[in-house]
Amino acid sequence: MRGVYLILAGLVVMMLGVWAYQENYATQHVLREISQIQRDIGHQREELAVLRAEWAYLNRPERLRDLAGINYDRLGLLPFQPEQFGRVDQISFPQEDDIILDLTDSVDVVGSLEAVEP
């Protein structure tokens, strides 16, 4: 009987060893993936910094002013005039009475397709 317990104990120890071995490799694999993702994030941040610098360079006011001057005839750009601006009280917002909700033709999105068919 003692031999059976020793054999079972040995099998349990070997199964635990195999399980620990598999978990170790799975953990190493996940750590490599995390490291790769962090490197990718670093590269994306560098690329974003470059793109922001390019955007700032391309949107310099003096450059845009020169481009507007070069393309003046083709674009037809004119400076803003004071009468082009309005006040908030000049905007006509819809009144609550103008907004009518018609819920008689609603569609049952949870139900079957029969609810949609005429």
Output the tens digit of pLDDT for each of the chain's 118 residues. Answer: 898 999 999 999 999 999 999 999 999 999 999 999 999 999 999 999 999 999 999 999 999 989 888 888 888 877 788 888 888 888 877 776 656 655 565 555 555 555 445 4
Cβ proximity of 107 and 115 under 8 Å: yes
Residues 6+ apart with CB under 8 A from 75: 68
Q: Which of 54, 53, 78 is nearest to 68 (CA)?
A: 78
pTM value > 0.95: no
Tokens of 13: 């120890």
